[in-house]
Amino acid sequence: MQNGKPLRFWILLITAGAAVLCLIQHPALFWRGLCLTGEALRPFGLGLCIAFLLNVPLRFTEERLFAGKAVKRGWTLAFTCLLAAGVLGVLLFLILPQLQKSGALLLERLPGYLEELRGWAEATAAQLGPRAEELVDRAEAALAEWAESSGGSGAEMVRSTVGAAAGVFRGAADLLAGLVFSLYLLARKEPLCLTCKRVLFAVLPRKAAVRLAEIGRLTAQTFRRFAAGQLTEACLLGAMCFLGMALFRMPYAPLISAIVGVTALVPIFGAVFGAAAGALILLLERPALALWFLVFLIVLQQLENNFLYPKIVGESIGLPGLWVLFAVTVGGSLFGAAGMLAGIPLASVAYTLFREWVARRLRERRLTSREIEEAGTRDWEQQP
């Protein structure tokens, strides 16, 4: 088109307007489509997370262990996979026997727990007085109705069992596909990056292609630093948890420390999962011990959040705590655990780009920090 915007601009503008209008009129449909897209892309997102996690020991292997030696990528990648499999095997060796012991202990003490619960219920009923009988009758009626409905519908039970089995199979398939995808990415990461750059410069104008290449480099650096910091922080937290539990002579120290360390890979919510799992295991041994463990872990988490995490992970991503929570929540709802891991570095990249844009706009408008700080500080009564 002459003397105006090109046809491509108007097509993009109309498409964007139609998408915004569809979002306003049908937000539930848009969110459903977004969730379906997230489910379809979940194996690839999981593969990206695995690739960035494995890239940390892979870079260490190539730059430190085999520095200056002509070693092919296949050998270093195989060594990295064996190292990761060895660490996973050690964790399973620590977790599975004690997990079996905890399950056997639970089955052994379950009748005693039920008897204590019955005694607590009777004591509570005696304190409530006449209203206790009504509450007990309602509870028994609700339990009887639930048992009748769940026991009478065999088809529903079969459907639930099949659904659970399908969920486990789907998760295993996603994990396998993500693992294969991550290995391919790691084996061909330099040629793949070069191919992406060639496509960018072939499709987009030079300035836009250079800018997108810079954003890609920033994203890769942020993911790499986040993965390295998260792995280091998880190992340190698991080690400190083990030393503290051994010092206070708490049982199941290897099992609980391994659980705390593994769950620490998931930001924010991982600490809650690890604390709940550890307290539940100790609750079977001695209820008071579970309470002391929670106190110990809260103190340990405070030390980790205030000293270790800002130094190891916080400086590498530069993201405020509110945006960390937002990134973990949205990423987890769309892509599960992989979204929780990938959400923080993606949000960090977006936050960095937005901060650079704001700084550039302020420089263009020649606004100083003092002018911005003094804006809105004067009362209306003092205005001339």
pLDDT tens digit string along 217-262? Answer: 888 888 778 877 778 888 888 888 889 988 988 888 888 888 888 8
**How far is CA 166 from each of CA 35, 162, 273, rounded to the nearest angstrom?**
19, 6, 24
Asked if 66 contacts 233 with a C-beta cutoff of 8 angstroms, the reply is no
Contacts of 179 (CB under 8 A, 6+ apart): 47, 50
Does pLDDT of 367 surpass 70? yes
- The pLDDT assigned to 158 comes to 57
User: Can you tell me the distance from the alpha carbon of 56 to that of 226, in angstroms, rounded to the nearest whole number?
Assistant: 10
pLDDT tens digit string along 137-183? Answer: 676 666 666 656 555 455 555 566 666 667 777 778 888 888 888 88
Q: Indicate the range of 8-12, 199-203, 344-348 predicted with least confidence.
A: 8-12
pLDDT tens digit string along 253-274? Answer: 888 888 888 888 777 677 788 8
- Mean pLDDT for the stretch of residues 54-65: 83
pLDDT tens digit string along 77-106? Answer: 888 889 888 888 887 777 777 777 767 776
Q: Which residue has the higher pLDDT, 10 or 357?
A: 357
- The pLDDT assigned to 318 comes to 65
**How far is CA 131 from each of CA 124, 144, 260, 281, rounded to the nearest angstrom?**
11, 20, 43, 35
- The pLDDT assigned to 2 comes to 46
- The pLDDT assigned to 168 comes to 73
pLDDT tens digit string along 295-313? Answer: 998 888 887 766 766 666 6
255 by Cβ neighbours in 10 Å (0-12 / 13-18 / 19+) ranks as buried
Mean pLDDT of the chain: 76
User: Can you tell me the distance from the alpha carbon of 51 to that of 224, in angstroms, rounded to the nearest whole number?
Assistant: 10
Does pLDDT of 17 surpass 60? yes
Does pLDDT of 34 surpass 80? no
Percent of the chain predicted with pLDDT > 90 = 1
- Mean pLDDT for the stretch of residues 330-351: 75
Task: Give the model's confidence band at 1: pLDDT under 50 very low, under 70 low, under 90 confident, else very high.
Answer: very low
Q: Which residue has the higher pLDDT, 342 or 193?
A: 193
Asked if 302 contacts 333 with a C-beta cutoff of 8 angstroms, the reply is no
